[in-house]
Structure 1
């Protein structure tokens, strides 16, 4: 477990003694794993990898499964019977091996192709995998780790698109659903453009399927497919242990005017019936949120494009957490719209009410956390699984 989880407040509560102040530490620095899209119909991944300080060799530099489940009140051994799909671009040739290292380190049950728990396919459901890409491999490693952390008994389906073109990634989403996944994690996106409605109807309109889409890491402004009314748009938070009854506190994740959880009002896609916020006539982003700030990031093992343990953040971490939380709640009805479920159970979420505000927007809730619904964190973060069940 990471050292951050044992705070001075917890030490005081446990021992009755005043803990010595921790030595000052340099603020972490991180890089975007994937480069910016080369075109309007090309996606980029939303993974952020901490590069300084260097990650610890044993994985203790980021939150592990026990800490994430404790922060969100989730069961320790859930996911039995569920298939969660991770959809990313390009091949991570060591995905299964890296996942095995992660799961062994944290005492999670094995999930391999030999046992039938893990399966990797191309975007057509076959074995002609795309070429490797070390940048996207970091995204894949992060997604697989977070699904494992939250739903360790679930089966995992990794579908690798031929490229980062939205058409290829969308085809991979369709394949994931066709192969039986009821929960799909999408940690990538692109600027919303005139093709968004067509892509939405072709690739993301799957009743009875959870498609959790990262809202992006560039602050105020919407990305597609998080802006699709058929996805669960996932914003991001800064998550820290504290002395409260919950044991954790969260604020909206915003590092600067161009870095933080994506949020805002779509300019092209319709508002779903379950959204009632008054300041956006179209689809509003986000719906819910989870940890995303790399300064309070998660532990990931990566050997392709990396050489061991790293701390990762970005809404890329939040999206698979939410996809897996839905899997813990049980399968959605076949004709349902799972994005609507949290709006029926808002009290079953941790409302995130504060966070820095480096930009101005109108109305302010689109870019600023506050009580109730807001753009950066939606309705809030998991507090158990009740918010993700069908009404």
Structure 2
């Protein structure tokens, strides 16, 4: 179980300043660079003009309720101007509006078209995924999961995904559709985030929500096994906790599923390993800050998500878990976290609709809870893994190619200049081999 640090992001909200971005944009203009760079500077200038500080707080499930429980890896924005709002303001020339602390009437974070564009998935999302099932594993029940998902998908013009049409199914950890765990508003926020991200990346996919009866490793692991039993080939897990000497046993019991892509959040507390991201059988997913960048061919830029020494994407060396054969970095004798990454910074967060236990409406979320279901969706777009494969190895076969966006700036903590906490060209701990550029790095 993770123990909250006094004044850590698990006990109080944090501020993120856009000051460094403003300075960088101003420097571009002073240097007289081209119009694309000036456009990026203008985007940042809108943010500065509208009080670009962003506030957020950890969702309730980010602090374990009971001894022995794991925590979710999500944050909810409570105020300020998000990257999405700055982007909108730059397009229209209007001042960016400050996000209200209550639910918004319209999205204030990145939506499906943004995420698909950022990761080269627009074409694949339109045509791939039919017949594939992404499983979302979380703890406790979200009574509004299906209706909230319907609101999200309807707003963005995605096809209906309901129990009635066979696209959506919610079960408990034993597979029952009627015997569900007790409801929990904190985990309901997490479930809305996960379901919306799976939809955003793979709108043609079916979605299976498996709710564990509590957030213990045993119950969440049992839910993973049930997801696989029910046919899911892609299983997203947005939770974690401290490593233990029992992890190798948990690996074999819950996470060793050949032919299944199992994604796990790398953690939100900065440099340091957590489980089950440390499992040798899963794809450990780190987090980035994602921003629109007209000065690049891609149209987007990313850096390591890091807000403070106790808040940012996880990475590092496992103390217990064996290093998988496809991982060849030399800084860790055992498993290294992470493998790949996607957006997780709350200041550049994603749009989510949620209504259970909080004011119904649109919220912006971050944390590696966002990046794990995004990568599960990419695996689903890439197609069914071969029966004997471990899909965590797939990105390693495309390492250093255009199939992945190499993230080369930022760090998530203090470990000297080591790649384990500092981004560099090629593999590094916080972002792994980088973020998706299409689906080819996620095929066998």
Instruction: Compute the TM-score of the two structures, normalised by the length of structure 2.
Output: 0.83
- Of 275, 281, 285 in structure 2, the residue corresponding to residue 224 of structure 1 is 275
Q: Which runs of 5+ in 1 are unaligned?
A: 1-6
**Residues 411, 421 of structure 2: 8 Å contact kept:** no
**Residues 216, 262 of structure 1: 8 Å contact kept:** yes
- Of 323, 329, 336 in structure 2, the residue corresponding to residue 284 of structure 1 is 336
Q: In the alignment, is residue 386 of structure 1 matched against residue 440 of structure 2?
A: yes
1:264 counterpart SS class: strand
Q: In the alignment, is residue 294 of structure 1 matched against residue 342 of structure 2?
A: no
Offset, 1:24: 3.6
2:318 counterpart SS class: strand
- Of 361, 379, 382 in structure 2, the residue corresponding to residue 326 of structure 1 is 379
Give the corresponding residue for 1:339. Answer: 392
**Residues 107, 363 of structure 2: 8 Å contact kept:** no
- CA 1:194–1:41 in 2, change beyond 3 Å: closer, same or farther? farther
Q: In the alignment, is residue 252 of structure 1 matched against residue 304 of structure 2?
A: yes
Give the corresponding residue for 1:367. Answer: 421
**Residues 271, 414 of structure 2: 8 Å contact kept:** no
Q: In the alignment, is residue 101 of structure 1 matched against residue 151 of structure 2?
A: yes
- Of 172, 183, 202 in structure 1, the residue corresponding to residue 253 of structure 2 is 202
Give the corresponding residue for 1:3. Answer: none
**Residues 59, 299 of structure 1: 8 Å contact kept:** no
Give the corresponding residue for 1:349. Answer: 404
1:191 counterpart SS class: coil
> CA–CA distance in 2 between the matches of 1:363 and 1:275?
20
Q: Which runs of 5+ in 2 are unaligned?
A: 1-24, 30-34, 81-98
Offset, 1:356: 4.2
**Residues 117, 154 of structure 1: 8 Å contact kept:** yes
> CA–CA distance in 1 between the matches of 2:409 and 2:218?
37
Instruction: Compute the TM-score of the two structures, normalised by the length of structure 1.
Output: 0.93
**Residues 279, 363 of structure 1: 8 Å contact kept:** no
Offset, 1:60: 2.9
- Of 115, 126, 129 in structure 1, the residue corresponding to residue 165 of structure 2 is 115
> CA–CA distance in 1 between the matches of 2:144 and 2:254?
28
- Of 64, 67, 70 in structure 1, the residue corresponding to residue 117 of structure 2 is 70
Give the corresponding residue for 2:188. Answer: 137
1:364 counterpart SS class: coil
> CA–CA distance in 1 between the matches of 2:184 and 2:42?
46
Offset, 1:32: 1.0
> CA–CA distance in 1 between the matches of 2:130 and 2:245?
40
> CA–CA distance in 2 between the matches of 1:378 and 1:41?
29
Offset, 1:25: 1.9
Offset, 1:39: 6.2
Give the corresponding residue for 1:29. Answer: 55
2:342 counterpart SS class: strand
> CA–CA distance in 1 between the matches of 2:323 and 2:388?
19
Residues 98-151 of structure 1, C-alpha deviation per residue, up to 9 Å, x if partnerless?
000000000000000000000000000002001100000000000000000000
> CA–CA distance in 2 between the matches of 1:200 and 1:59?
41
Offset, 1:35: 4.0
> CA–CA distance in 1 between the matches of 2:225 and 2:136?
12
Give the corresponding residue for 2:356. Answer: 304
- CA 1:109–1:38 in 2, change beyond 3 Å: closer, same or farther? closer
2:182 counterpart SS class: coil
> CA–CA distance in 2 between the matches of 1:200 and 1:277?
21
Give the corresponding residue for 1:185. Answer: 236
**Residues 41, 190 of structure 1: 8 Å contact kept:** no
**Residues 215, 263 of structure 1: 8 Å contact kept:** yes
Q: In the alignment, is residue 275 of structure 1 matched against residue 327 of structure 2?
A: yes
Offset, 1:363: 6.5
**Residues 107, 352 of structure 2: 8 Å contact kept:** no
Offset, 1:305: 2.4
Residues 314-366 of structure 1, C-alpha deviation per residue, up to 9 Å, x if partnerless?
00000000000000001000000100000001211000000145x32157111
Q: Which stretch shifts more, 19-28 or 253-262?
A: 19-28
> CA–CA distance in 2 between the matches of 1:320 and 1:80?
17
**Residues 236, 261 of structure 1: 8 Å contact kept:** yes
**Residues 227, 285 of structure 1: 8 Å contact kept:** yes
Greater percentage in strand: 1
1:319 counterpart SS class: helix
The CA RMSD over aligned residues, in Å, is 2.3
> CA–CA distance in 1 between the matches of 2:333 and 2:391?
21
Give the corresponding residue for 2:32. Answer: none
